[in-house]
Amino acid sequence: MATRLYTYWRSSAAYRVRIALNLKGIDYEPVAVSLKPGDDEHREDAYRAINPQMLVPFFDDGKVAIGQSMAILEYVEEAYPQMPLLPDAEPSRSKVRAFCNAIACDIHPLNNLRVLKYLSDELDASDKQKSDWYAHWVTEGFRACEQMSVRYAHDGPYAFGRDITLADALLVPQMYNARRFKVPLDEYPRLVAVADACNEVQAFQDAAPENQPDFL
């Protein structure tokens, strides 16, 4: 069976996994699940039967079928050791994971589609309130990530220096989202430079939203 990734072009959590699969040279079949309001394919029974959480991404290589991008990235790192995306040694290995979780656990869940929808549908938040909310959580998280990465600036262009790691696979999609929601980025010169360096790499370019078959 071909490895499958259930994905949506604009999903930043799926974008993380696309980057890692491309970096590792893992061939996969993208299965598009449209999150577009009105389509809401992720909420249909057919998709719920695949992923009870009704979120993308979902990964299936015939051996392991799982949701949750961090779980997928950790699994892929263990099962496909080529082009390692975690440093071999501590403390860098744990520091990369901490950077990833600052984005995956502390920024992204607060700014997810269903959270923004709840703010407007249930709490009557205005567009301005929603974009302030969005920028607030990105700002809190990016301030910390900037500090975490700036220590490695002397060592190379990527978040943790010379080698591309999972931190870069998390940062680039979050940076894409920050730009999409027009969050000011002047405070994060290191993060902007890291994302620019990553975006020079083919694997990142191939994972970009505008290069997905389901791009609208």
Ligand X SMILES: N[C@@H](CCC(=O)N[C@@H](CS)C(=O)NCC(=O)O)C(=O)O
Residues of this chain that interact with ligand X (CB under 6 A) are 11-13, 35, 42, 55-57, 68-70, 104, 112-114
Reported as type and span, the H/E element at residue 2 is none
Q: At a CB cut-off of 8 Å and minimum separation 6, what does 57 contact?
A: 5, 6, 7, 11, 13, 14, 16, 17, 67, 69, 72
State the nearest-atom distance from the C-beta of 154 to ligand X, in Å.
31
State the nearest-atom distance from the C-beta of 162 to ligand X, in Å.
27
Instruction: Choose between 118 and 147: whose C-beta lies nearer to ligand X.
Output: 118
State the nearest-atom distance from the C-beta of 187 to ligand X, in Å.
24
Instruction: Choose between 113 and 197: whose C-beta lies nearer to ligand X.
Output: 113
Q: Please provide residue 22's backbone torsions phi and psi, each rounded to the nearest 5 degrees.
A: -65, -45
Q: Please provide residue 5's backbone torsions phi and psi, each rounded to the nearest 5 degrees.
A: -125, 115
Query: Side chain identity at 35, as an amino acid letter?
Result: L
Instruction: Choose between 60 and 190: whose C-beta lies nearer to ligand X.
Output: 60
State the nearest-atom distance from the C-beta of 69 to ligand X, in Å.
4
Among 134, 138, 215, which Cα is nearest to 171's? 138
State the nearest-atom distance from the C-beta of 57 to ligand X, in Å.
6
Give the C-alpha separation, 210 to 120, whole Å: 27
Instruction: Choose between 12 and 152: whose C-beta lies nearer to ligand X.
Output: 12
Runs of H (alpha helix) within the chain: 12-24, 45-50, 69-79, 92-104, 113-121, 127-150, 166-180, 189-198, 202-207
Instruction: Choose between 37 and 91: whose C-beta lies nearer to ligand X.
Output: 37
Instruction: Choose between 12 and 22: whose C-beta lies nearer to ligand X.
Output: 12
State the nearest-atom distance from the C-beta of 151 to ligand X, in Å.
26
Query: Side chain identity at 41, as an amino acid letter?
Result: E
